[in-house]
């Protein structure tokens, strides 16, 4: 109902009729429409996180190739964040920001997506592939360069991105991120880390 009509134009009466319960039952469980919508947001984000965890386990085979792992992870995040339900709820939250700014705070609450990414990065730090002090911050930056860029280019899910567009976003974001954090093999002529070509 929220996805179909938005937050403001969805009434508790309509929700009760759609769900086959009384309006009072909804009020007893959630208090008001805003709390109900926040519960919907939490469940949508939790479902996306559960899906992400399962797909990470299935798709990232720990093959040891840093760049391949990062590209696979970035493509997965983009897919999850452009999910029709997640993108639709995000648009509602943005549309309601002026009247209900607290909704954006609920949307922006920390979830375990960055934790999953951070754990993947941490493995490569221990292997010596990356030089990172704050893996959580680095994970956040990688998400900004890839998934958030895809959200912007898709106009918050209103425009479907082509596979080529997604691949370019992933390539650009991962390459930039790696330029900042990838360790370089020692150069025997310098005795220091090799500098990137200018």
> Domain locations in the chain?
2-10+28-193
The mean pLDDT value for 78-100 works out to 90
| pLDDT above 90: residue 198 | no
Distance (Å, rounded) from C-alpha 98 to C-alpha 11? 19
Q: Residue 188 has what pLDDT?
A: 45
Residue with tokens 């209900």: 100
For the chain, what percent of residues have pLDDT higher than 70? 86
Is the overall model pTM greater than 0.85, yes or no? no
The mean pLDDT value for 108-134 works out to 82
The mean pLDDT value for 11-17 works out to 94
Distance (Å, rounded) from C-alpha 136 to C-alpha 115? 7
- pLDDT per position as a tens digit, 137-185: 999 999 999 999 999 999 999 999 999 999 999 999 999 999 999 996 5
Residue 193: pLDDT band (50, 70, 90) is: very low
6 contacts 93 by C-beta, under 8 angstroms: no
Among 1.10.357.10, 3.30.380.10, 1.10.1040.10, 1.20.1540.10, name the CATH number for the domain at 2-10+28-193: 1.10.357.10
Cross-strand partners of 130: 182
Residue 164 or residue 97, greater confidence: 164
| pLDDT above 60: residue 196 | no
| pLDDT above 50: residue 109 | yes
- pLDDT per position as a tens digit, 53-88: 787 777 665 556 788 888 988 998 899 889 999 999
């Amino acid at each position: 109902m929220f996805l179909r009509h938005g937050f403001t134009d969805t009434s508790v009466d309509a929700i009760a009729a759609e769900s086959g319960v009384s309006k009072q039952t909804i009020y007893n469980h959630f208090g008001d429409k805003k709390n109900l919508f926040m519960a919907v947001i939490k469940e949508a984000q939790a479902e996306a996180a559960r899906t992400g965890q399962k797909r990470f386990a299935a798709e990232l085979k720990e093959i040891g190739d840093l760049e391949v792992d990062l590209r696979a992870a970035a493509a997965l995040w983009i897919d999850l964040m452009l999910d029709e339900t997640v993108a639709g709820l995000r648009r509602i939250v943005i549309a309601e920001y002026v009247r209900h700014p607290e909704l954006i705070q609920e949307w922006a609450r920390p979830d375990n997506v960055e934790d999953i990414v951070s754990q993947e990065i941490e493995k490569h730090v221990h292997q010596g592939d990356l030089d990172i002090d704050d893996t959580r911050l680095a994970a956040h930056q990688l998400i900004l360069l890839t998934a958030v860029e895809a959200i912007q280019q898709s106009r918050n899910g209103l425009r479907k991105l082509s596979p080529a567009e997604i691949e370019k976003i992933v390539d650009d974001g991962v390459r930039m991120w790696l330029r900042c954090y990838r360790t370089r093999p020692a150069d025997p002529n310098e005795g220091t880390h090799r500098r990137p070509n200018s």
